[in-house]
Structure 1
């Protein structure tokens, strides 16, 4: 005897309750989708305007003197040095989220190397980056380039330069499930620390018992604005304000989708959003969801890591994130065994 469910809810005669093969993973490109410029760091350009060799003036300037705040997680809500005028909907200010990091993958094309956008991530210590396991699963660490201090991907003419580092160790959660994305967390240890500056600072990590049922959280990323081939990758870092949704309520909402009424939301997930058009999307995978620290609202904990959703920005359907508080013990343990101090991501009131 069995139960009648839609064909996509059945796998090897077992009802799928964890969403494997059904969820929309928020990373990379779908090869079946057409796009003018499939890669994040490319833009559509008339043939006569394409530069064969970039001008020498584009060499990256030296980073500013190191500036380390007494604590992590400070959001530059007004931006650094200037504010965007004529701000397009949802663009982050320059330097607003100084922990935001891009994970790039080097790809050899004919005689040149291209840096292809893989996913987002966050800086939690000068030499440690936090991201989603699904972003880096089966990737070679030698291919990865980690970029901090980026904002507008189409120009180097910014107040402070971006900085690039290599990955010396890639640590994926040992219980990561590539089907359901349970335990979707990874740490990247860098070859040398980033030089901390106004636009490069670590985010704070929450204590493991932290709760985030609040309305003032932000997700940031360079992902697509909408799902499907009509969506375009963002040039300037985008932000979206999202409410955190309680676990039970989120599971209830997700059961109304193609996941079905038997769907079980794993404890390693946290949900946010559910308002039409306000969501993270494909390409935002690994990016941080941050929430204000109670009592210190200009400082932020990272509550979530962008993981998956059902479409993007559907009314009443929250996006799903890796729960950083749930992973806190695992993160501490991994760094402890490598003699990396936790002080960079522990909040101390200024």
Structure 2
């Protein structure tokens, strides 16, 4: 009888996977049951669950420098603060990264060299306003079920109180060898309305009388939930679409995991025109990230 149950479960997972493959020819589709594996966990991502997730690495070093997200086969969206002291020739990006401590995963990692780093011209490293950068790759990725772009939201969207996902390789914790630990983590966090976010900046972060710049937004405020690596995507559900997401934010800064302090994210709704402008300037088709 137990063998029959296993067979039925395997058929069910295969059926789900086939459905996801058919839907995943467009941006933003998450694979909630993973690809070829299933983890029953609230804080670890299934293998291939977030197919737009990118690790940004410095060549010759073992740790992940920042996170990023694929918005086009040859374009990665990330945070400007990750690239203050490094050139394109010194970094690479990696798709299909899951367990940062293992080389024997279901599929091999796929690395790409970076052709150009474009940082927002009004980025401020002290305040982290306009904390957005675009990486143009030397070679495109071949899109497939485990490598898919994320969608970017239209300007009139509202995500107040939405429950959204942020991913990362254990966020703030680094071991003695400088490696982020274990498999890709995921946290489910609520977005926070602008007025509440403004009060958070003034009270919890002690930036008195400061006005929240429109390029920043807040999410979180739940103890024990990390914000993920800088540059990682915060993605929120597309209303009316099953398992499909918009990227609403980019991890900018926060106060860690232990206390219930909201984290700050670059606001994609405000930064979308700049992103579109840069891709248009480079002759990149925006349809890959348009739902």
Q: Is the shorter-chain TM-score for this pair beyond 0.5, marking a shared fold?
A: yes
Q: Does 1:340 align with 2:284?
A: yes
Superposition pairs for residues 1-350 of structure 1, below 5 Å? 69-84=24-39, 87=41, 89-107=42-60, 114-225=61-172, 233-281=180-228, 284-315=229-260, 317-347=261-291
Determine helix, strand or coil for the equivalent of 2:77.
Answer: strand
Deviates more, 1:182-191 or 1:256-265: 256-265
Decide which structure has the larger Cα Rg and report it. 1
Q: 1:136 Cα deviation (Å)? A: 1.4
Conserved in 2, the CA contact under 8 Å of 1:247 and 1:270?
Answer: yes
| In structure 2, distance between residues paired with 1:223 and 1:137 | 23
| In structure 2, distance between residues paired with 1:311 and 1:339 | 39
Cα pair distance change 1:225/1:105, threshold 3 Å: closer
Cα pair distance change 1:70/1:242, threshold 3 Å: same
Deviates more, 1:232-241 or 1:130-139: 232-241
* Aligned-residue RMSD, C-alpha: 2.2
Q: 1:119 Cα deviation (Å)? A: 0.5
Conserved in 2, the CA contact under 8 Å of 1:100 and 1:122?
Answer: yes
Conserved in 2, the CA contact under 8 Å of 1:225 and 1:234?
Answer: no
Structure 2 stretches of 5 or more lacking a match? Answer: 1-20
Task: Name the TM-score, length of structure 2 as normaliser.
Answer: 0.87
Task: Name the TM-score, length of structure 1 as normaliser.
Answer: 0.73
Conserved in 2, the CA contact under 8 Å of 1:137 and 1:172?
Answer: no
Cα pair distance change 1:254/1:311, threshold 3 Å: farther
* Consecutive aligned runs of 4 or more in structure 1 exceeding 6 Å deviation: none
Partner of residue 8, structure 2: none
| In structure 2, distance between residues paired with 1:192 and 1:212 | 34
Q: Which has the higher helix share?
A: 2
| In structure 1, distance between residues paired with 2:85 and 2:173 | 27
Deviations 1:261-288 (A, max 9, x none): 313221101110001112315xx10000
| In structure 2, distance between residues paired with 1:343 and 1:150 | 25
Q: 1:148 Cα deviation (Å)? A: 0.5
| In structure 1, distance between residues paired with 2:134 and 2:258 | 28
Number of residue pairs matched by the alignment: 270
Structure 1 stretches of 5 or more lacking a match? Answer: 1-65, 108-113
| In structure 2, distance between residues paired with 1:301 and 1:223 | 22
| In structure 2, distance between residues paired with 1:70 and 1:116 | 31
| In structure 1, distance between residues paired with 2:244 and 2:133 | 24
Q: 1:196 Cα deviation (Å)? A: 1.5
